[in-house]
Amino acid sequence: MAPKVFVTQPIPERALARLREVAEVELNPDTTHIITKTELTAALKRNDYLLCLLHDRVDAEVINTSPALKLIASMAITPAGVDMATATARRIPVTTIPPLVTEATADLHWALLLAAARRVVEADRALRSGLFPGGQSMHFVGGEVNGKTVGIIGLGSVGEAVARRAGGFGMRILYTKRHRLDESREAALSVEYRSLNDLLQESDFVSINAALSPETIHLIGDRELSLMRPSAYLVNTARGPIVDEKALVRALKGKRIAGAALDVYEHEPMVESELIDLPNVVLTPHLGSAAGDTRERIAAIVVENIVAVIEGRRPPNLFNPEIYEKG
């Protein structure tokens, strides 16, 4: 009997074609529908391999009610939506992807930064509604980007990619992270270290690129937002819970900061309702890796993880290697 794979949302066709060479594939065809727990549980009664996306939740109940489940192949770098303890206890391999999304995420980060500063979304909506205030009108005056100061919170791979792009805008680049870089690395990146408080006070743009951990949940809250300049902007393409969204709403409504741009949210797919109505916020639905070439590479890697397990091999991007080490 052929292996059966459930794919929770469409992925690039080339990867699907490769998967169909080795297995029967059941696919949720709707790119706008996040599979529900009930739907996922039902699908795993019909299939023994799962290809899931970053937003999918594969909890202990889903795993334990799927006795035939042989693999959870995640399209995430870190499978936060998968109950790893339960999967490992069942000796179900969980595979992930390498950090391939750096450049695509940094591109989006800059798209959001520029859109917020130059009020692109507001102006687009106005033009479509019939408003054209004139080429030198003050109506849509926004923030300057070139030559300003960007403060990067979390200088990992994405943070460094953001810093490289900032150099092209002639910006002064500050950063903060748990472990300061050595002087040669700072010089190579043209960055200056600051404490979090000093970075918030000195920056025109606060760029969040930190990893999510217990220590970074609500790293940016009322106190931190109060340290930012009234002319400053907050940009987050890292993880939603790093920012206290209710505190951000208060800061934006009170004009304590100029604006914000978000691609990630505390309780995805839910978004703080008051953010949606604020004109000085740019919002996108977690599009960091949504670039064609990047998604092609990601999907190919995930499918090859599945093919390896089907063929009886240890998959190349295994997140719980201990399942192969036990007798």
49: tokens are 């391999």
Catalytic residue, chosen from 268, 274, 296, 304, is: 268
Catalytic residue, chosen from 109, 194, 286, 297, is: 286
Task: Quote the mean pLDDT of the chain.
Answer: 96
Q: Tens digits of per-residue pLDDT, 91-113?
A: 999 999 999 999 999 999 999 99
Q: Tens digits of per-residue pLDDT, 110-158?
A: 999 999 999 999 999 999 999 999 989 999 999 999 999 999 999 999 9
Q: Which of 171, 209, 210, 208 is nearest to 190 (CA)?
A: 171
The reported pLDDT for the residue numbered 325 is 83
Burial status of residue 7 (CB atoms within 10 A of its CB: 0-12, 13-18, 19 or more): buried
Residue 97: other Cβ atoms inside 10 A: 23
Angle, helices 120-128 vs 102-117, to 10°: value is 60
pLDDT tops 90 at residue 1:
no
| Tokens 């969980």 -> residue | 94
The reported pLDDT for the residue numbered 197 is 98
CA distance 5 to 51: 7
Structural domains present in the chain: 4-98+292-325 (3.40.50.720), 102-283 (3.40.50.720)
69: tokens are 């489940």
CB 19 within 8 A of CB 12: no
DSSP state of 82: B
Residue 238: other Cβ atoms inside 10 A: 26
**Report field, pTM of the whole predicted structure over 0.85:** yes
CA distance 158 to 240: 16
217: tokens are 């949940």
pLDDT tops 60 at residue 220:
yes
pLDDT tops 80 at residue 326:
no
Contacts of 286 by beta carbon, 8 Å cutoff, 6+ apart:
54, 55, 263, 264, 265, 268
Catalytic residue, chosen from 239, 266, 295, 297, is: 239
CA distance 68 to 41: 12
Q: Which of 142, 147, 196 is nearest to 174 (CA)?
A: 196
pLDDT tops 70 at residue 327:
no
CA distances for 251 relative to 109, 174, 186, 222, angstroms: 21, 22, 32, 8
The verdict on whether 268 is a catalytic residue reads yes
Q: Tens digits of per-residue pLDDT, 156-166?
A: 999 999 999 99
The verdict on whether 296 is a catalytic residue reads no
Contacts of 185 by beta carbon, 8 Å cutoff, 6+ apart:
none
The verdict on whether 286 is a catalytic residue reads yes
The residue-averaged pLDDT of 265-288 equals 95
pLDDT tops 90 at residue 315:
yes
Q: Tens digits of per-residue pLDDT, 182-207?
A: 999 999 999 999 999 999 999 999 99
